[in-house]
Amino acid sequence: MSVTPEQIRATADSYIAALTAGDLEAVMALYAENATVEDPVGGGTVHEGAAAIREFYASVVALKIDGRVLEARACGNDLLFNFEITTHFDEGSKATINVWDLMTHDEQGKVVSMRAYWTPENMS
């Protein structure tokens, strides 16, 4: 049974909801065991496998984040989506970043590859 475009599209909302809730287990539930995460593309480390991905996201979900999906497109087993997240730091300071993520899904709907496209130019 293959995954539907609606299931793939729902990954965008589930991903942002998990990040804003600080829910590491919900983030990990989106990924296949042997997945890869590259964040940011071209300048970041490629995290391979569940243990490396968990270590990467543990520091992300520890932050206070607000986020929203701006646009999402499911094509085949790929999901391309644009979102903004605002990270709140101590003493009222914050940073907002606009990101495009490309997630490829397997036949069970799990993410096998995530590539995040952003640079410091996308931060405010």
pLDDT of residue 1: 54
Catalytic residue among 13, 23, 31, 39, which? 39
pLDDT of residue 31: 98
How far apart are the C-alpha atoms of 69 and 51, rounded to whole Å? 27
Catalytic residue among 15, 31, 57, 101, which? 15
pLDDT of residue 79: 98
Is 117 in the active site? Answer: no
How far apart are the C-alpha atoms of 78 and 111, rounded to whole Å? 9
Cβ contact 104:37 at 8 Å: no
How far apart are the C-alpha atoms of 49 and 111, rounded to whole Å? 11
pLDDT digits (tens, 9 = 90+) for 93-102: 999 999 999 9
Q: What is the mean pLDDT of residues 95-118?
A: 97
How far apart are the C-alpha atoms of 99 and 51, rounded to whole Å? 24
Query: Which domain does 73 fall in, by range?
Result: 5-122
pLDDT of residue 124: 93
pLDDT of residue 91: 82
Is 15 in the active site? Answer: yes
pLDDT of residue 2: 84
Check: pTM over 0.85? Answer yes or no.
yes
Domain CATH for 81: 3.10.450.50
Which helix or strand (DSSP H or E) is residue 54 part of? helix 50-61
Q: How many CB atoms lie within 10 A of CB 61?
A: 18
- 90: pLDDT strictly greater than 90: no
pLDDT digits (tens, 9 = 90+) for 17-76: 999 999 999 999 999 999 999 999 998 789 999 999 999 999 999 999 999 999 999 999
Number of domain units in the chain = 1
